[in-house]
Homo-oligomer: A and B are copies of this chain.
Amino acid sequence: MRLGIDIGGTKTDAVAVDESGALAQRVRLATGFGHAAVVETAVTAVSRIGELTGLTPAGFQSIGVGVPGMVDTVSGHVAHAVNLGLERLELGGMLAGRLGVGVRVENDVKAAALGTYHLLRLSGTMAFLNLGTGMAAGIVVDGRLWRGSTGIAGEIGHIPVDPAGALCGCGQRGCLETVASGSGIARQWPTDDPLPVRAVFAAASDGDREAQAIKARLAAGIASAVRILVLTVDVGTVVIGGGLSHLGERLLGDVHEVLHDWERTSPFLASLDLPARVRLVPEGTPVAALGAALVGEN
């Protein structure tokens, strides 16, 4: 049995995965804020899964943790996990000290990519396109995470595609993330709604032109991300995940429409069959926790 934990900005998922890769147990906790609380949340998650499975930490084949931010997978250090209130934390070492066993730490998008790849029983090459606060992709090749030479493979949210676009937090202009992410939507549509993208979709269907334009830019930005992933890595599948993916078929439909429009003017793009490569992550499965449990296999 393997144990995987996904520490998110508000919720932490933990799962036990059996030998066949199937989900055996699952719990959800509120995530604490700040160094000590984040470590405590993970320790509690291990203990809760331990109660459900009857296993001590040492009884699991491996324990993996997915966490937002920059992760050094060798040292287990986490940096810039702003949502968790962490500037820098030696998460791997601290958890190992508390649990008495080694813990593997991985970036949450990469963990979700790995979990999705296994959940969908894919083969070949896949990108998990995470549309959360930001945009980033996790790339899996033949069942293994593709990290690249410095660990920044898949950071496509900061590829600029419009010199006249909005200024991005990264200092560039017109990045994909400025139109196709939670923060990009929130910047364009100031609202008290905790889910600005739902407010945008609602206003768009009520006929609001500005909301319709924001919605169109979102779909075009996602479609551009798909095109980039195919024309660089040539991924066979792009799975859309992250917070915005909860829009479900409404979002996927918009993206497919953009991709089909492109095919009408470009036989080259039509030959790539982009619409057939794109799908949504299945709702309701904690793919990042699942992936965190599997990180040990890589």
Copies in the complex: 2
Whether A171 contacts B268 by the Cβ 8 Å rule is yes
Number of A residues with CB within 8 Å of any CB on chain B: 42
Whether B160 contacts A161 by the Cβ 8 Å rule is yes
Whether B234 contacts A149 by the Cβ 8 Å rule is yes
A267 to B151, CA, bound (A): 17
Cβ of A283 within 8 Å of any chain B Cβ, yes or no, is no
A162 touching B163 in the complex, CB below 8 Å, given contacts A170-B266, A171-B265, A269-B170: yes
Cβ of A298 within 8 Å of any chain B Cβ, yes or no, is no
A259 to B243, CA, bound (A): 33
- Minimal beta-carbon separation of A176 from chain B (angstroms): 10
The closest CB in chain B to the CB of A70 belongs to: B271
Interface string of A245-280 (1 = CB under 8 A from B): 000000000000000001001111100100000000
Whether B125 contacts A148 by the Cβ 8 Å rule is yes
A152 touching B231 in the complex, CB below 8 Å, given contacts A171-B266, A268-B170: yes
Which residues from chain A sit less than 8 Å from chain B, CB to CB? 124-125, 137, 146-156, 158-164, 170-172, 224, 227-236, 262, 265-269, 272
Q: Besides the contacts A152-B230, A172-B266, what 9 more A-B pairs have beta carbons closer than 8 Å?
A: A124-B149, A137-B232, A151-B234, A159-B228, A159-B231, A160-B161, A161-B162, A162-B162, A172-B268
